[in-house]
Structure 1
Amino acid sequence: MSDTIRPVTLPDLPLTGGCSCGKVRYAIGGVPQAFYLCHCTECQRHTSSAFGMSLRVDPATVTVTGEMKTISRTSDSGATRYGDFCPECGVRIQHRSKDDPGRLNIKAGTLDDTAWLIPAGHIWVSSKQAYVVIGEDELAYPQQPEDKAEAIKARWRAMLEAGRTQTS
């Protein structure tokens, strides 16, 4: 991996989004902690796509209107994970962990504006689809980088800073 940092220009807060039918809406009032792509088979399955897009945020900065339904599952590590979705149209809005209530991942494809998103890293690349190409300048981890999650957050902060510098 090279040290190339791609600038990210964060739109004005709050960031807004919601489900397809509009019955669930949310607003994120704080700067996201990271944006990354997950290539695990679980994300592939629940997105019906090659990967899941996760925008890590502080749950205290998120306001949700409308009711969501929750499903739970046990991850490979034994942790209980929750997925919250619109009961009307089925769009998954967020996922979280019982063991880490300070961690919330908004499913970034539900944002009203996704044009500014550039991933700071990729996780679970050991199960990525063969046609997905990850650049040499991108952070990539074979599985869940619990001990290296700070590297993705640090890269995201550098990307945001580069975006601020570029627009100044």
Structure 2
Amino acid sequence: MMTVKMPPLPLTGGCQCGAVRYEISAVPVMFYLCHCSECQTQTSSAFGESLRCDPAFVTVTGKMATTTRTAESGTVRFGDFCPECGVRIQHRSKGDPGRLNIKAGTLDDASWLAPAGHIWTRSRQVFVTIGEGELSYREAPEDGGAAMQARWRQMLGLDEG
């Protein structure tokens, strides 16, 4: 398992034009890659990068606009983005105020990240290789991501295991 050396808190990031900035003041809950077709479309890439955080420890400055869509699961999802340059900053789900996913590509320094797992791999692009021993789920993890959260804490050296 790869180890991760997180930079000192707060983690910072923002959009391309600088109109929206954020700070994360606590260790993120986990970092994972989502291979669903919706993330592929939204990012114009092979997957979405999600840095799950407790929203109580995320401070955003600047005005964001919000899009709403219903996921395949039926969950209503909100995507918050900079109305000036269009960069998606975060996404969240209706009825789940304790969960916020920062789009990790918006971090000022994303060089330290390594995913704790992969979700919705049934729609992953054929050229994306998932290494042996990496946590991988064809759809959403049945445990709500608990195994990925535990792996993330181990990768950060916060838990033995």
Q: Which TM bucket (shorter chain)? A: over 0.9
Gaps of 5+ in 2: none
Aligned residues: CA RMSD = 1.4
1:9-52 CA-to-partner distances (Å, cap 9, x unmatched) read 01000000000000000000000000000000000000000000
What is the one-letter code of the residue matched to 1:160?
L
1:78 aligns with 2:74: yes
Supply the distance in 2 between the matched residues of 1:78 and 1:37 (Cα, whole angstroms).
Answer: 20
| Amino acid aligned to 1:65 | T
Supply the distance in 2 between the matched residues of 1:76 and 1:38 (Cα, whole angstroms).
14
Q: Which runs of 5+ in 1 are unaligned?
A: none
Match of 1:26 among 22, 29, 38: 22
Deviation at 1:148, TM superposition (A): 4.7
Among 158, 161, 167, which residue is 2:157 paired with?
161
Query: What is the DSSP-based 3-state SS (H/G/I as helix, E as strand, rest coil) of the residue aligned with 1:158?
Result: helix
Shift of 1:106: 0.1
Q: Where has structure 1 moved over 2 Å in runs of 4 or more?
A: none
Q: In the alignment, is residue 91 of structure 1 matched against residue 87 of structure 2?
A: yes
CA distance in 1, matches of 2:73, 2:16: 32
Counterpart of 1:150? 146
2:4 partner letter: V
Amino acid at match of 1:145: P
Q: Relative to total residues, which structure has the larger helix share, 1 or 2?
A: 1
Structure 2 match to 1:119: 115
Residue identity matched to 2:19: K
